[in-house]
Amino acid sequence: MQRLLLIRHAKSSWRHDIDDLLRPLNDRGYAAAQQMSQRPIVRSNLPDVILCSPAIRAYSTAVCLMRTLNIAAERLQICDEIYGASATDLQQLVAQRREAVVWLIGHNPAIHLAAELFAESAIEAFPTLAVAQFDFENDVARLQAFDWPKRSID
């Protein structure tokens, strides 16, 4: 069985007049990364590989999670094809992987649409730093959990 975490990057800053690839996280984004690293959906699913967009906001999200959870840098792979990918492109990228636990850190709308493709149902929203956990058995994906920073935990 393979497990996939689709992760949208944390909240980014629009205060800088720079290329979209270079946009950094804002303070809220860094705080959300700290918060989400403590949630069971992330903490109990440490990756064998992290496939990450080359955008600074995605990379920064990955590094924050990795530092908090003591994940080795060798597990991070920057994948240029994630930036600007379609949902189908992301689905194909995941299909090529054989690791037991894969994290894919990317952008909307593709990450949201990919989650809906895997789930075979609508997902109302995919906010910043949302995490969708899928388990695959016999190439069939099942949505197991979905969490995001502003979700209240009872």
Which amino acid would we find at residue 141? A
- 69-94 CB burial, b ≥16 within 10 A, e <16: eebeeebbeebeebbebebeebbebb
Return the residue matching tokens 């989400």: 36
pLDDT in tens, 93-145: 999 999 999 999 999 999 999 999 999 999 999 999 999 999 999 889 999 99
Model confidence, pTM: 0.96
- Domains in the chain (CATH in brackets) are 2-147 (3.40.50.1240)
**N- to C-terminal Cα separation, the chain:** 30
23-29: average pLDDT: 95
The burial class, CB within 10 Å (0-12 / 13-18 / 19+), for 66 is buried
pLDDT in tens, 53-95: 999 999 999 999 999 999 999 999 999 999 999 999 999 999 9
Q: Name the token pair of 129.
A: 């730093």
